[in-house]
Chain A
Amino acid sequence: MTDTPPHPTDPFDAEALNAAEGLDPVDPAYAQVLRIATALNLIPLAIGASVFDALLIRHLEGPYGLITAAAWVIAAIVIVSFPSRRVSRWGYRIGEGQLRVARGWLFRTDTIVPFVRVQHIDVGQGPIERWFGLSHLIVHTSGTHNSTVTLPGLHSDLAAAMRETIRRHIQTDFA
């Protein structure tokens, strides 16, 4: 898209963000997971808005149809466009004895957990994730803040491999 080196503070060039910070992107299929999860949350809300519209606004002889249309349009926009943007703002880096997880744009958090500080590790998979062959990795530390660090959108094999990497470090450091 651009020939100039990506500027890390360009809010519209999300791909450049991870590259500039030396982070690997999560699996693009995670966008589908997020999309389905968002849809499962928003469609009931939109249905609720439609029912509200049909029962109340029509009864009050107000502008019937406005709320229904707005709810469905907003839901469609959020479901279609937001998940892929959110996914592109997740990034991780594993290596040099530490796990780095970055997420978010408006409120961006970049977390580093050294392997030696990991208490235990979970690899989890929800039903939607299983459908796409993805897993999430949860790292537990003994800190009160950041007691769990979650990294979603990993291919199941990759998540297992990362778990093994971290586990080896825990063993070598505490054995």
Chain B
Amino acid sequence: MSDAAAIATTEVEPDWQRLHPATLALAVVKLGPRSLNFLPAVAALGFTGNWIWIVPAVGAFLLISLAAAWFQWLRFRFLVGDDEVVIESGVLSRQHRTIPFDRIQDVSIEQGLVARALGIAKVGFETGAGGKENDASLDAIALGSAQALRTTIRAHRSGEVAAPVAADAPEAAPAQEDRLLFTMTPRQLLIAGLFNFSLAALAVVGAGMQFFDGLLPFDFNVFNPRDWIDVAEDYGLDQWLLAHRWIAGVGAVVSLLLIGFASGIATMFFANWDFRLTREPRALRRTRGLTTRTDVAVPVKRVQAAILVTGWFRQRFGWHELRLQSLASDGEKERDHQVVPFAKLDAIDPVLAEVAIRRPDAGQSWQHSHRIVALGGLIGAVGATVGGLVAVSFGQDLGWFGPALGLLIGAGSLFGARFHRWADLGEQVAIRRGAWKPKTTLLPHASVQSVDLKSDFILRPLGLATLVFGVPGGSSLGAHEIPAIPLAAAQDLRTRILAARARS
């Protein structure tokens, strides 16, 4: 399989391989956006009247860029040995990197749109080293050899004694072949997209139009209501609109809804098309994406916590999203891994079982945080109210927004405070929070690295304390903390969590 992709060089060791030649084509594609950097130079040439130099300059720029890409390709080689990957790179300063198979947690495969057309893929080695820049990648080799490489490394890993160092590994080791845990059919994607209603896309387009307002060749901005009013006046539409303002209002609402639903469905389809979550011997593997397909593995032993996210509305239909917090991060922007984008709980439970995390059942008795957690919101509400009233007293009528907003914030924080709750399930802690977007964090005791018990001049007289857990790997959903619980309960929970660790 690998012969198609990798050209063996005529070195002494015949095993040295190069990246796929199509990588050069990819470099040409990437040249497009990069040549924008060259625009100022072209403009400068134009303004100074040196028109004849523009074409040679652009030509030289392209030539140099291509030569650089060619040299980089020429000087990049890698070797897949018996138990390690060696990568040599760099044109002027050479870099030689050795990655033992033992240290590779998993191999991720990613394909962009152009890469898919060319049949190549970017291979990333997840080593668990801190920081994304420490992880090596091969950008790019043929898809076939990428998969072969992954199989080689995985075979090596499963060939060795599967010594589960961590006690949280599931005992009955699953069969060697991969099992499909979760998929998303187009129908499910459609439902998920409907719940994914969002007007964010509209805001982005609107902001974009604002930005390009001065650049547009015609004097009409779709997002400027005044332009629309002008048009309406031109055609006598304003009379019609005034006469039928109800119809106009309904039309506006319907079109807004349509845009919201369409953007929700589109983002869901682009991100999660052909979503597959498979259980492999050591990891959960997720492949997804319509244009950019990603293939990411979450090593089971590295899972630190599970986070169940839902929404106030979708909760009524039993839809949830499952994220796993792991030592390895998911791409550059996400800190945790979305392993189930949208499913009912009975579909999520098998996935949770694979990472040995239990979900509290419906009969679980929860303990509540003290209402004092609403204090921050209430202070904000008072601030908004006072600010607004001051503005009103200076004769600014817009200031009435202040008290209204304050009332809304205060009510929201008072209401939301009731949803801070927690439960100790023996081996793990469950923390729930949020009314608008309820999140349940399932944190195994064994994942906790350190415990903070915090109190301040407000919590202390009430006999309360806040527990904050230090957990490896980040989460975009905030720190793991149980706010404002009775001091004795906090100390007790801390002791139990620390005792659980001593066992492992």
Give the contact stretch, choosing among A49-57, A142-150, A158-166: A142-150
In Å, the complex CA distance between A149 and B453 comes to 14
Are A141 and B450 neighbours in the complex by a CB distance under 8 Å? Answer: yes
Q: Point out the residue from A107, A112, A113, A145 that lies within 8 Å of B480, measured CB to CB.
A: A145
Q: Does B35 contact A (CB under 8 A)?
A: no
In Å, the complex CA distance between A54 and B429 comes to 61
12 example contacts (A-B, Cβ-Cβ < 8 A) are as follows A106-B456, A108-B455, A108-B456, A109-B452, A109-B453, A111-B450, A112-B450, A113-B449, A113-B450, A144-B474, A145-B452, A146-B450
Q: Which of A81-112 contact B (CB under 8 A)?
A: 97-98, 106-112
Contacts of B475 in A (CB 8 A): 144
In Å, the complex CA distance between A10 and B327 comes to 42
Query: Digit string of B469-487 for contact with A (CB within 8 Å is 1, else 0)?
Result: 1111111000110000000
Are B471 and A110 neighbours in the complex by a CB distance under 8 Å? Answer: no
Q: How far is the CB of A19 from chain B (nearest CB, A)?
A: 17
Query: Digit string of B451-467 for contact with A (CB within 8 Å is 1, else 0)?
Result: 11111110011000000
Q: Which single residue of chain B is at the shortest CB-CB distance from A119?
A: B449
Give the contact stretch, choosing among B96-104, B348-356, B494-502: B494-502
Q: Does A171 contact B (CB under 8 A)?
A: no
Question: Known interface pairs A109-B453, A110-B454. Does A146 touch B470 (Cβ–Cβ under 8 Å)?
Answer: yes
Interface-centre pick from B327, B470, B501 (highest chain A CB count, 10 A): B470
Q: Which single residue of chain B is at the shortest CB-CB distance from A174?
A: B165
Q: Which of A21-37 contact B (CB under 8 A)?
A: none
Q: Which single residue of chain B is at the shortest CB-CB distance from A98?
A: B498
Q: Point out the residue from A98, A145, A149 that lies within 8 Å of B471, measured CB to CB.
A: A145
Contacts of B502 in A (CB 8 A): 97, 114
Residue pairs across A and B with CB atoms within 8 Å: the count is 72
Tier of interface size on chain B? 20 to 34
Other A-B pairs beyond A108-B456, A143-B450, A147-B470, 14, CB < 8 Å: A98-B498, A107-B454, A109-B454, A110-B454, A114-B450, A143-B470, A143-B471, A144-B471, A144-B472, A145-B468, A145-B470, A145-B471, A145-B480, A146-B450
Contacts of A114 in B (CB 8 A): 450, 498, 501-502
Q: A-B pairs with the 6 shortest C-beta distances?
A: A143-B470, A143-B449, A146-B470, A110-B453, A141-B449, A142-B472
Q: How far is the CB of A22 from chain B (nearest CB, A)?
A: 12
Q: How far is the CB of B500 from chain A (nearest CB, A)?
A: 11
Q: Which of A131-175 contact B (CB under 8 A)?
A: 141-147, 149
Main secondary structure of the interface of B (DSSP, over half): mixed
Contacts of B494 in A (CB 8 A): 112
Are A146 and B501 neighbours in the complex by a CB distance under 8 Å? Answer: no
Q: Point out the residue from A106, A112, A145, A149 that lies within 8 Å of B457, measured CB to CB.
A: A106
Residues of B in contact with A (beta carbons under 8 Å apart): 327, 448-457, 460-461, 468-475, 479-480, 494, 498, 501-502
Question: Known interface pairs A98-B498, A110-B453. Does A9 touch B471 (Cβ–Cβ under 8 Å)?
Answer: no
Contacts of A142 in B (CB 8 A): 327, 449, 472
Q: Does A80 contact B (CB under 8 A)?
A: no
Contacts of A145 in B (CB 8 A): 450, 452, 468-471, 479-480
Are B473 and A116 neighbours in the complex by a CB distance under 8 Å? Answer: no
Q: Which single residue of chain A is at the shortest CB-CB distance from B451?
A: A112
Q: How far is the CB of A17 from chain B (nearest CB, A)?
A: 11
Q: Which single residue of chain A is at the shortest CB-CB distance from B455?
A: A108
Contacts of B470 in A (CB 8 A): 141, 143-147
Query: Digit string of A50-87 for contact with B (CB within 8 Å is 1, else 0)?
Result: 00000000000000000000000000000000000000
In Å, the complex CA distance between A117 and B449 comes to 6
Contacts of A149 in B (CB 8 A): 450
In Å, the complex CA distance between A97 and B475 comes to 28
Contacts of B501 in A (CB 8 A): 114, 116-117
Q: How far is the CB of A114 from chain B (nearest CB, A)?
A: 6
Q: How far is the CB of B275 from chain A (nearest CB, A)?
A: 27
Q: How far is the CB of A79 from chain B (nearest CB, A)?
A: 24
In Å, the complex CA distance between A141 and B461 comes to 32
In Å, the complex CA distance between A149 and B468 comes to 14
In Å, the complex CA distance between A145 and B470 comes to 5
Q: Which single residue of chain B is at the shortest CB-CB distance from A105?
A: B457
Interface-centre pick from B449, B450, B474 (highest chain A CB count, 10 A): B450
Contacts of B460 in A (CB 8 A): 9, 108
Contacts of A116 in B (CB 8 A): 501
Q: How far is the CB of B217 from chain A (nearest CB, A)?
A: 49
